Amino acid sequence: MSAARTGRALVTGSARGIGAAIAARLSAEGYEVVGLDVAPGADLRLDVARDDLRAEDFGDFEVVVSNAAITTTIAPAHRMSAQQWQRDIDVNLTGAFRVVQACLPGMRARRYGRIVVISSGAATGGLAGQVAYSASKAGLLGMVRTLALEGARRGITANAVLPGLIATEQVRAMPPEVLVRARRAMPTGRLGAPDEVAHLVSFLASEPAGYVTGQAISIAGGADLNPVSLGSDREE
């Protein structure tokens, strides 16, 4: 049996949290991983929304994982400023497209590629106080389906991963009462781990995942399930 294809993988937003877990997982599986972030420690220090993305830096990636995002813009829709809205869209949606677009010529020439975009449960369920974030993450779903259609006959897949509440550094820093309330609302009774997201991404990035494309895959511990029961409240 021949070894599965690995090659080079680009992971944006790789400095911490889910991005760091994805980069570590892909590296452990044999990929040559290049991390991209605005924060120190990344191989490429770039702002995906504003900086020049040179073709020579992006032409030879078999895998691109678009994870970089702003998650901290908090304002109800009636008070969100135009600047807040635009920055979320610029980074989370336009930035994701710019990175993927820079990788596409090489993938098309090789007739092989794996595109994995990190969206969010907010893309389908909404998130009060974060209308720009939710809109930007929802826009990624349309982008992924179009990329999947355009790449299907060239060996290029595109899929979206929709994490729920994951125990990243930022989430763990939330007030304890908020975390308790979040856990109680989860059917699983716990938060997700970054490495659980990384495992899902690693499968979608693999050669054997070639028949999975255009999908939006939730990894949210059942948060999108209906918790209402018409029977007994007692645990079975």
Residues designated catalytic: 133
Rounded to the nearest 10 degrees, the angle between the axes of helix 17-28 and helix 194-204 is 50
Q: Which residue type, as a one-letter code, is found at position 206?
A: S
Collect all residues with Cβ–Cβ distance below 8 Å to 100 and sequence separation of at least 6: 64, 66, 115, 117, 143, 147, 158
Collect all residues with Cβ–Cβ distance below 8 Å to 164 and sequence separation of at least 6: 121, 186, 192, 218, 219, 220, 221, 223, 224
Task: Tell me how far apart the alpha carbons of residues 16 and 71 are, in angstroms, rounded to a whole number.
Answer: 13
Task: Tell me how far apart the alpha carbons of residues 157 and 203 are, in angstroms, rounded to a whole number.
Answer: 12
C-alpha Rg value of the chain to the nearest Å: 18
- What is the per-residue DSSP string for 152-218? GGGTEEEEEEEE-SB--HHHHTS-HHHHHHHHHHSTTSS-B-HHHHHHHHHHHTSGGGTT--S-EEE
**Longest Cα pair distance anywhere in the chain, in angstroms?**
62
